[in-house]
Amino acid sequence: MSWARITVRIPDDLKWEMDKHPEINWSAVIRNHLEKYINYELNAKSIDTRIVELLNNYKNDIEKLWMLHIYLTVLPWKKSDVLETAKLIFNKDMADVLEEIENDLNHYGIDAENYQIRNELKEVIDSFGYLDKIYLEVIDRIKKAPEDIKKGIWLLTRYINESVVWIHPEGLNKTYKILTGEDINITIELVKLGLLYKGIYSSRAYFFEHCEIPEYTYDIAYEISKGSLLYIEKPSRYAIEELLKDEKIQMFFKWMGTDYKSIEVYQEGSIIKKELEEKGLDLSLEEFNNVLKKININNKIVMSSRTDKRVHALWQVAHLDIPKYWDIHKLKHALNKRLNQFDIYIKNLKIVSNDFHARFSAKKRIYYYVFSFNTPNPFQKNYVTFLDKNNLDLDKIKNGIQVFEGVHNFQFFKKNGSSIKSNIRTIYNVKFLKRNNFYILRFCANGFLRSQIRFMVGALIALAYDKITLTNIRGMLELKAKQNIKPAPPNGLYLAKILY
């Protein structure tokens, strides 16, 4: 490659600071940054298009694709951990591959050090099947692993749940030794399999080694726990755990979302208390678990689905492991007494089998969206969306709702920031209902993306006001063109039922 010579003017005070570090090749630093940002400006394609083009170049190269995923997952902490993890997984030095990836990112103008862009890149990897090859490779490695390592895999499945995002190596290694009596650094062995990535947690208060959990490991852990992936023998000392075994209960409860906003999962340090208050989150999943701790239940609750703030739930479901000494009728009373301040009511508790999972065992989810043309009043405004009937064609909503039935890619009908593997959902049926002066849109599906229903209803409202056409909505479902659709207000949305 030939290079053109240009002159860069730098302020005197900055040059003075640079001179303090003669060990740094400032010419190379400036050249790399110029190339990166010039490429960014010259490339007029959207960031999504550039990300897809990059990944399409990697889709047949599992080493580069896997290396990129490690890089994106571990990067916030330390690049040396990226190389160390890669060396354990591939059993060779991957520095040259990492350099190629960084050059490719610069070429496409993708700033992977930017938190938002890095998450967007990871989301595309997760959503469009790029992780499938990695998933299958890890499964193959697990099947070939010796029995002592399989015991460590089993132990890892006991650690992992939806609220755990990283593992402390020392604790995992000590637990493994207690359960098996074998002195093996099981954490390193799990990294070699690709089930964990090495990393370092660093903040003003803490600095310690930890292991990140890749997205696909959650799926593998769930399949192992069900016994559908492969059989892994429990460690011989597992009898100790059997003596303290909990039983699983299914919880049915409801809330009105006016004051109680939503149950959110948030990582330690990722959202500070001030930001929670600004967002109006009155109760988090962590705080819900704190309510349980007050009655000596230290296990964490698992929800069937999340809801946006101000959305109501008539039939939310969760599961929870509780000590066997609890009487579920007394537990229901104790929980309702403490959850009353959050406008949450436990409707029923029942004991279920250990393989029940509130989220993954669900077959169908039903939501209602309620709107009216009545004059808005203060007694209903938090529970119904009021629409202006002027220039609104109600028949377009009634007929247009049918377009959502079937299997579709709802990529254009979700809120940004959703961490999911696939945007494809199956809507089994939709109904347009009327009760007195209220209209109800009923959606039944195998699942919904974040804010998907609100975006679908928003599209129907825009259709009724002639802001878009039915062809536009079909085009969004076919990923041809995204429309400027606002999500419908949350106060009209109700989680009606979860079917198992």
Q: H or E stretch including 493?
A: strand 493-499
What is the bridge-based pairing of β-strands 385-386 and 302-303? unpaired
Is the C-alpha dihedral spanning 25, 30, 35, 36 positive or negative?
positive
Two structure tokens written together for 72? 């994106």
Q: What is the 3-state secondary structure (H, E, C) of 255-286?
A: ECCCCCCCCCCCCCCCCCHHHHHHHCCCCCHH
Q: Of 246, 282, 308, 321, which is the active-site residue?
A: 308
| Amino acid letter for position 439 | Y
Q: How far is the C-alpha of 122 from the C-alpha of 68, rounded, in Å? A: 9
How far CA 12 is from CA of 30, 33, 349, in Å, comes to 16, 20, 71
Cα 115 to its chain centre, rounded Å, is 15
Q: Token pair for residue 452?
A: 């998907």
CA dist., res. 211 & res. 375, Å (int):
56
Q: Is 347 helix (H, G, I), strand (E, B) or coil?
A: strand
Residues 6+ apart with CB under 8 A from 149: 184, 186, 189, 190, 193
Backbone angles phi, psi at 497, to 5 degrees: -165, 150
In the residue annotation, 308 being an active-site residue is answered as yes
* Residues 6 or more apart in contact with residue 353 via CB below 8 angstroms: 248
414-433 as b/e: b if 16+ CB within 10 A: beeeeeebebebebeebebe
Which residue is listed with tokens 């190596």? Answer: 169
Q: Residue 180 in 3-state DSSP?
A: helix
Residue type, 416: N
Q: Which residues are known to be catalytic?
A: 308
